[in-house]
Structure formats: structure tokens, C-alpha cells
Amino acid sequence: MRIGLRNLILAAAAVVALAAAGAALFVHLGIYDVAATRQHTRPVFDLLEYAQRRAVSRRAGPAPDLADSRRVQAGARIYSRHCLQCHGAPGIAPDALAYGMTPEPANLVATAREWPAGEIYWVVRHGIKMTGMPAWNRHLSDEEMWDVVAFVMALPQMSPSEYATFDPQARERNAAPAEAAPQPPPMAAAPDRVTPAAIGDIEAGRRAIDGYLCATCHVIPGVVGAQRAVGPPLAGIAGRRYIAGIAVNTPENMIRWLRDPQRMDPLSAMPNLGVSEQDARDIAAYLYTLEDPE
């Protein structure tokens, strides 16, 4: 087989031109949905996440010694003033504005397990384009930014009640009086098979999961970006006997748990996210579609 080089070049040019025209049309016609109510498609999400990680790691530098507990305390004060609103804290939900953001602001309690301090500092200092993460370089001093990093580095060792010692008001805002619970709960039989659609609207629940930032902490099948191991994975939650290890898995308990976890277990790191009754029903309906993986 013999192909003329000129023809080959022409063919390649035609392909490139067509692809460019297609891309231009895709953009011009506004086909990609920029609404924050929809998560990115999975390939776009994965690409952006990877690109962000690589870009940060390429630019970040080394970190000073951050073990000083005064640094952690100073960082905690700055965190509760400037970071908590979007990122939440152990046992504390973010403010309402964070719920509407796409990408969802990361839960930071386990970030330091994977991110070196230098990279966290870089993100605090420079922010990240088109994520809502601002650059703090003009508003915080270098030392203050490192204080925040020291606090984030200490988060993986911090229980919700330890965090409360740093920020008592946040805890009060969040806390509800705990209800009496059987201690421990009775040995549960396998949960009765429930009909998800009888509990709520499955598709609305799927969307509400994005709206309440569930993906920032749990692996949830069918939810783009839900790959964090802050809390337990939710695959198979329909057949799990206990909810959060403390309540028998019934739709009623699930809805109560989703609405106010710390009312059922005051020690839980899962915060009260202000989920409405209807949203809780819909989310529960979606969760009961997640049968055992095998």
C-alpha cells in the first residue's frame, strides 16, 4: 500500500480542521452545561481532578516544621473564621452557600493523609481557578497561611469533640439534644427488603445527594466524584443491618439519621446538614437502591 505524503497531510489537516470546527460549534452552541446544579460528567471530573493534582504538585515547595501546637491553635482560629463556611470541620457542616457549589468544597478532615503540607499551603496561597477556592495571599500573612496548614495537618488526629474545644460556638450551632437510644441496639436481623420508590423519589434523591455534599465524604455508587473515604462506603447500604453502627436499618431510622445524625449519636463525626424531611426521604429512596455489590 502506497499513500502519497501530500494526501496524508491533506487528510490529517482535514481531520484537524473538522475537529476544531466541531469543538468551536460545541462551545458556540453552549452545549456543555455550566450549571452548578449538575456535577461534571465523569471523564471531565476525573480529568479536572487529575490536572489539578498534577498542577499543584508541580508548583508546591517544601514546608517548615508545623508541629508546634501554638501554630495549630492559631490555625484553628483562622480556619473557623475563613474556611469552615465551605469545608466544614469534624462533626460540623459547612454553611448553606457551600451546598450550592460545584465542584463541591472538599472535606478536609483526611486531606493531610494524602496531601503534603507544601501542597496544601500552595492551594491556600494561590487558590484554584473555577472551583470557588480563593487565593488568600493578599488577606493572610505567610505565617497565618502556614498556621492554617498546621491545623489541616492536625485534622486527621482530631475527633469531633476535640475539634469542639477549638471552636465551641460552632459546636453549639450544630448540636441538638441527643435522643435516648437503646444501648446498644438490639441484634438486628437482615433488614426487610424495602421498595425504594415507596419511600421517596429516587431520582430527586440522587440529585439531593449532590446538593448536600454527601460525595465529599462517602463512596456512593452512581455518584460522580463520590470517592472519598471520610465515612464508610455506601455500596450495599440497602442490605446493611445497622446505620452508622448504632441504629437498626429501617427507612424510619435512615430518614432520622439523615436529618440529624448527632441526635442519634452525639459522638458522630457526621454533621447535621439541615436536610429537609422530603430530601431525607428522597435520599433514603436512592440509598435503598444500593443493594449488596455482589
Partner 1 sequence: MPDIALRLSPQDGCASMKSFLLRLAPLALLLALAGCGRDAPPVSVAGGDPARGKALVRDFGCAACHVVPGIAGHGSNVGPPLQKMGVRAYIGGVLPNTPEDMVRWLRDPPAVDPRTAMPNLGLSDAEARDIAAFLYTLR
List all residues 6 or more positions away from 86 whose beta carbon is below 8 Å from its beta carbon: 94, 95, 97, 98, 101, 105, 132
From the CB of 161, what's the least distance to partner 1, in Å? 9
Q: How many residues bind partner 1 (CB under 8 A)?
A: 49
DSSP string, 116-132: -HHHHHHHHHH-BTTTT
Residue closer to partner 1 by CB (options 80, 249) is: 249
Convert residues 220-259 into a mask of x (bound to partner 1 by CB under 8 A) and - (unbound): ---------xxxxx-xx--xxxx-xxx-------------
Residue closer to partner 1 by CB (options 24, 267) is: 267
Give the interface segment with partner 1, choosing from 120-128, 169-177, 181-189, 193-201 (CB under 8 A). Answer: 181-189
Residue 12 in contact with partner 1, rule: CB under 8 A: no
Q: How far, in Å, CA of 34 to CA of 116, rounded?
A: 31
Which one among 3, 31, 34, 35 touches partner 1, defined by CB under 8 A? 3
Residue 207: CB atoms within 10 Å: 16
User: Per CB under 8 A, which of residues 34..63 are in contact with partner 1?
Assistant: 54
Q: Is the peptide bond before 232 cis (omega within 30 degrees of 0)?
A: no
CB 166, CB 75: distance < 8 Å:
no
Convert residues 114-133 into a mask of x (bound to partner 1 by CB under 8 A) and - (unbound): x-------------------
- Alpha carbon distance, N-terminus to C-terminus of the chain: 51
Rounded to 5 degrees, what are φ and ψ at 253?
-65, -40
CB 108, CB 174: distance < 8 Å:
no
Which one among 63, 101, 110, 140 touches partner 1, defined by CB under 8 A? 110
Residue closer to partner 1 by CB (options 118, 233) is: 233
Q: Is 133 helix (H, G, I), strand (E, B) or coil?
A: strand
Q: Name the site residues for partner 1 (rule: CB under 8 A).
A: 1-6, 8, 54, 90, 107, 109-110, 113-114, 156-160, 162, 181, 183-185, 187-188, 217, 229-233, 235-236, 239-242, 244-246, 264-265, 267-270, 292, 294
